[in-house]
Amino acid sequence: MLGIDIDGPVGEIWCAAADSVATADDGQQRTLAEWIAADPEGMLGQPLVAACGPELPIVIKLIDTREAPSVQVHPSDTYARAVEGGPGGRGKTESWLVLEAAPDAVVYHGARANPSDGLIDAFDSPAILDLLEPVPVRRGSVIDVPAGTIHTIGPGIILYEVQQRSDLTYRIYDFGRGRPIHLDRARDVSDTAAANPSWRRWLDIDSETDALVTEMPPYHCFLHHADHEETYRNVADVCQIVTRLDSGDNEPVGTTFLVPPSNRITLDAGCWAIATPRPEGCRRPANGNESKHAATNKPGASR
């Protein structure tokens, strides 16, 4: 089980990442990377290790936007491999499931349907927001953000995120915060076409029925509603990451389990997201060294 210990306000909680501290049934604690290194195939499953190497290729987060993060874009695997040399040559595709949203909450997701020729010229300017598609969101909104999609999350939103394990983020506009802007690389990788409407949909997460959240090349994720305390068995041949999306008597929101193949865990009644990495959407690292861009487990990490 991956524990979450929060002191003060944070923008992000990294529920499952390499440096997350995980507690075994016997109470022993190690980082998730240390547990995996001790038994890669036992923890991750042979197909995932063969495809990705001995590391978890996805990251699970909870994000709370009291204010909008930067307007940003992430590279593809191909660009990351050629230009950045990131871990495993991995870019970043991510997906969001909105858990709470203010009445007027929006995300900006790709270019507007008929973007002007000035989209790229508006980088590092507040005018960029006028050229992106504002998408109203509510509890249950699902947004897929493939690599190359310009995006930001508006204020007043709490969401669950599953993403590729990569910290390659190119900021386009940062609302005057003074952090580095990455214009050249953002221009290289940004898709200036309108986002595919199928990347936006709504899911009734209060219906108490299991449902697919998203299915992307690097991962898929579904909701599981436990009516009462139950034993859940991972029947996949790779690991699964199981995260609580509501509060229960014994587990807070964000409680997360890594469940190896064929293993069982006990789930309290409630709503759980179950994310599964896909070996076919992964590249094995070229060597055993992490790049300077490797994701770290820092609640409140900058976006």
Active site residues: 171
Contact 132, 111 (CB under 8 A): yes
Nearest CA to 190 out of 175, 206, 171 is that of 171
Distance, in Å, from the CA atom of 34 to the CA atom of 32, rounded to the nearest integer, reads: 5
Distance, in Å, from the CA atom of 17 to the CA atom of 102, rounded to the nearest integer, reads: 28
Residue pointed to by tokens 């203010």? 102
Q: Which residues pair with 21 in a beta bridge?
A: 31
Distance, in Å, from the CA atom of 255 to the CA atom of 188, rounded to the nearest integer, reads: 38
Single-letter amino acid, residue 251: E
Contact 92, 169 (CB under 8 A): yes
Distance, in Å, from the CA atom of 70 to the CA atom of 174, rounded to the nearest integer, reads: 4
Q: Residue 99: which H helix or E strand, with range? A: strand 94-101
3-state secondary structure of 62: strand
Query: How long is the chain?
Result: 303
Distance, in Å, from the CA atom of 41 to the CA atom of 18, rounded to the nearest integer, reads: 16
Q: Residue 47: which H helix or E strand, with range? A: helix 46-52
